[in-house]
A = this chain, B = another copy of it.
Amino acid sequence: MTAGDSLRRLRDAKPLIHQITNYVVMNETANATLALGALPVMAHAREEVEEMSAIAGALVLNIGTLSPHWVDAMLLAGRVANERGIPVVLDPVGAGATTYRTETAKRILDEVDITVLRGNAGEVATLVGVDAEVRGVESIATGSDPADLARQAGRQLGLVASVTGVVDHVSDGETVIAIENGHPLMATITGTGCMSSALTGCFLAVNRDAPLAAAAEALVAFGVAGEDAAQGANGPGSFHVGLYDALAALDPDTLDGRARVS
């Protein structure tokens, strides 16, 4: 685990993370990106996404409040990122809940080379054809063990699958890394999944050739920040505030030692 080293390089390089994401969490993922040490930029117009993605260190696509113009923009931005070798994260928010979300996520997977697919178990299961129950944007149940699901998704889709839950599982189709960092309060606020996707983009920007490691390191960093933020939190509101403080306070020197990875 070299999450500490990646964080150090990220804060030094301050990569630009282009995010085409949902209305609910734009402020939150921008602030999480900034708190970690990278530079967020939100831009969704078809008139500019290609130019913006071309100068980014990573591109994060999130379908949490999708509509046709936004999907077009995601495809345009994704193609440019692919041409330039810029890593792309897809967060298939709510895949499985409506046909439109499922089909859009599949279309993006078809038309863009996704580096990391970051979703909950229900969303990822839906995209690989495993039975799943998704209610709105919550994963209720899947017919598969999460480690197996991550491996299957990684292999079947030809990418790194990052399946988050009580324990997170990241896989390139062969190796599976389980990450046990985090805190139950992370499930009490909206947007922690989306934030983890944004942070995955940050770590990818400084680890282009090691997406499996980058995806795991992002979840370690976010989980450790969640553990720190839970100290002294009185509920979801104060936890949410503390999460940004904790991301900014992450210490590269101690981060690897706190990783609970297997």
B-binding residues in A (CB < 8 A): 16, 18, 22-28, 30-31, 34-35, 39-45, 47-48, 51-52, 55-56, 64-69, 94, 97-101, 135-138, 188-191, 234-238, 240-246, 248-249
Interface of chain A, helix or strand or loop or mixed?
A: mixed
Query: Nearest chain B CB to A239's CB is how many angstroms away?
Result: 8
User: Do B245 and A136 touch (CB < 8 A)?
Assistant: no
A39-B138, A51-B97 known; 6 new pairs, CB 8 Å cut-off, are A18-B136, A41-B136, A45-B67, A234-B245, A237-B240, A238-B241
* Contact A94:B41 (CB < 8 A) given known A237-B241, A244-B235, A248-B188: yes
User: Do A190 and B240 touch (CB < 8 A)?
Assistant: no
What copy number does this chain have within its complex? Answer: 3
Shortest Cβ distance from A189 into B: residue: B31
Query: Nearest chain B CB to A141's CB is how many angstroms away?
Result: 14
User: Do A35 and B246 touch (CB < 8 A)?
Assistant: no
User: Do A189 and B34 touch (CB < 8 A)?
Assistant: yes
Cα-based distance from A230 to B121 in the complex (angstroms): 38
Query: Nearest chain B CB to A2's CB is how many angstroms away?
Result: 24
* Contact A98:B34 (CB < 8 A) given known A67-B69, A136-B52, A235-B246: no
Shortest Cβ distance from A56 into B: residue: B136
Query: Nearest chain B CB to A250's CB is how many angstroms away?
Result: 10
Q: In the complex, which of the residues B42, B47, B66, B236 contacts A245, with contact meaning CB atoms closer than 8 Å?
A: B236
Closest 10 CB pairs of A and B: A235-B245, A237-B244, A41-B136, A48-B100, A48-B98, A237-B241, A30-B190, A47-B100, A45-B67, A51-B98
Q: In the complex, which of the residues B25, B40, B47, B237 contacts A136, with contact meaning CB atoms closer than 8 Å?
A: B40
Query: Nearest chain B CB to A198's CB is how many angstroms away?
Result: 12
User: Do A43 and B68 touch (CB < 8 A)?
Assistant: no
Query: Nearest chain B CB to A216's CB is how many angstroms away?
Result: 25
Cα-based distance from A254 to B45 in the complex (angstroms): 44
User: Do B236 and A43 touch (CB < 8 A)?
Assistant: no
Q: In the complex, which of the residues B22, B44, B94, B236 contacts A248, with contact meaning CB atoms closer than 8 Å?
A: B236
Query: Nearest chain B CB to A20's CB is how many angstroms away?
Result: 10
User: Could you jot down 16 A-B contacts, CB within 8 Å?
Assistant: A30-B190, A34-B190, A35-B188, A35-B235, A35-B237, A47-B67, A47-B68, A52-B97, A67-B69, A236-B244, A236-B248, A237-B242, A237-B243, A237-B245, A237-B248, A238-B241
